[in-house]
Amino acid sequence: MSDIREKLRIDLQRIEDNQYLLGEGEELWDYITLMLQYIGDPQTELRDELIYPTFYEWISVRRLFTEVELLDMLSVLIDEQHLFYHIGSEGEASVFTRTFSVLVVTLIIQRHIQQPFIDKSGFVRLTSALIRYYKEEKDLRGYVEDGGWAHAAAHGADALEELVQCPESDASVQQKVLAAIQGMLYNGRYSFSDEEDERIASIVDAVIKYDRLPQQTVSDWFGQLEQCVSWPKTRNQVITRVNSKDFLRALYFRLIHHHHGTDLITALLTTEAKLNKFVQY
């Protein structure tokens, strides 16, 4: 197995050096099969510097895959051996398989947005998988010293940001996404320090931009983030309050920069003030 892995590393480096072109007689899917097998390799070089950039180049830049091939790839990525591999575990290398699977899912959703190819039932399965993943992922480490980026909250947010932009993403889907976001902010164990708040804010920024939810619904959701203020003063409560406050601040500046959602800013600031213990009433 180590020989196969090492050959894959050498081959992908050669392919990168050759502008991501295959050699004579090489088959694209031979590499895809191995890349999916090693997508969560614990060594950052193979996982983060070779496999993911190759997926990006072939899916997003060169657009080498047919719609059927993308669907086949998506089916594997969201299965129990990839997106849900050892889901619920913490402190294990399995987190890399989950978080890098969801990154490639993001690339496929982007292709769907550009030219839709996922049918209604497929979109329902995709939505269910991403919501389930964001709810059930417990290993929320950002940068892991002996493995590089895990970044589950951020990578999952990237996929949800694309999901809410899909034409099939109706109000029901978007409300489920908002509920999943609150669950992530309310995880109570991980205080986000690697700009996860910015990546999560990107989801809600897209929800507001595409205007498929009534503004009152979004405003009411902001208010739900205040719930933790009345909790007993435990470490769980502090982490939840600070995560929620930092998220709202990131979203505030995003709305200012993008010049939309200004009608929601008063509601956002009201909630931030309640979460901010330094604000004097």
pLDDT at position 26 is 95
| Residues 25, 71 within the same domain | yes
Please say which residue of 166, 189, 218 terminates a domain: 166
Answer whether residue 171 shows pLDDT above 90.
yes
Total domain count, the chain: 2
| 105-114, 161-170, 177-186, 272-281, range with the lowest pLDDT | 272-281
| Residues 147, 40 within the same domain | yes
Where does the pLDDT of residue 1 fall: very low under 50, low under 70, confident under 90, or very high at 90 and above? low
The pLDDT tens digits of the residues spanning 95-141 come to: 999 999 999 999 999 999 999 999 999 999 999 999 999 999 999 99
251-272 average pLDDT score: 94
| Residues 1, 48 within the same domain | yes
Q: Which tokens belong to 2?
A: 């180590």
What residue numbers bound the domain in which 182 lies?
170-281
139-159 average pLDDT score: 97
| Residues 69, 184 within the same domain | no
| Residues 70, 135 within the same domain | yes
| Residues 155, 243 within the same domain | no
Where does the pLDDT of residue 225 fall: very low under 50, low under 70, confident under 90, or very high at 90 and above? very high
pLDDT at position 279 is 86
pLDDT at position 261 is 87
pLDDT at position 280 is 63
| Residues 154, 193 within the same domain | no
CA–CA gap between residue 248 and residue 253 (Å, rounded): 9
87-102 average pLDDT score: 98
pLDDT at position 126 is 98
| Residues 190, 213 within the same domain | yes
Where does the pLDDT of residue 2 fall: very low under 50, low under 70, confident under 90, or very high at 90 and above? confident
Its pTM surpasses 0.85? yes
The pLDDT tens digits of the residues spanning 181-206 come to: 999 999 999 999 999 999 999 999 99
| Residues 189, 110 within the same domain | no
pLDDT at position 215 is 94
Please say which residue of 166, 198, 233 terminates a domain: 166
| Residues 156, 207 within the same domain | no
Query: Over the chain, what is the mean pLDDT?
Result: 96
Please say which residue of 166, 195, 219 terminates a domain: 166
| Alpha-carbon distance values, 164 to 5, 35, 209 (Å) | 36, 27, 10
Answer whether residue 281 shows pLDDT above 80.
no
User: Within 10 Å of residue 43's Cβ, how many Cβ atoms?
Assistant: 17
| Residues 157, 208 within the same domain | no
Q: Which tokens belong to 57?
A: 């180049």
| Residues 202, 154 within the same domain | no
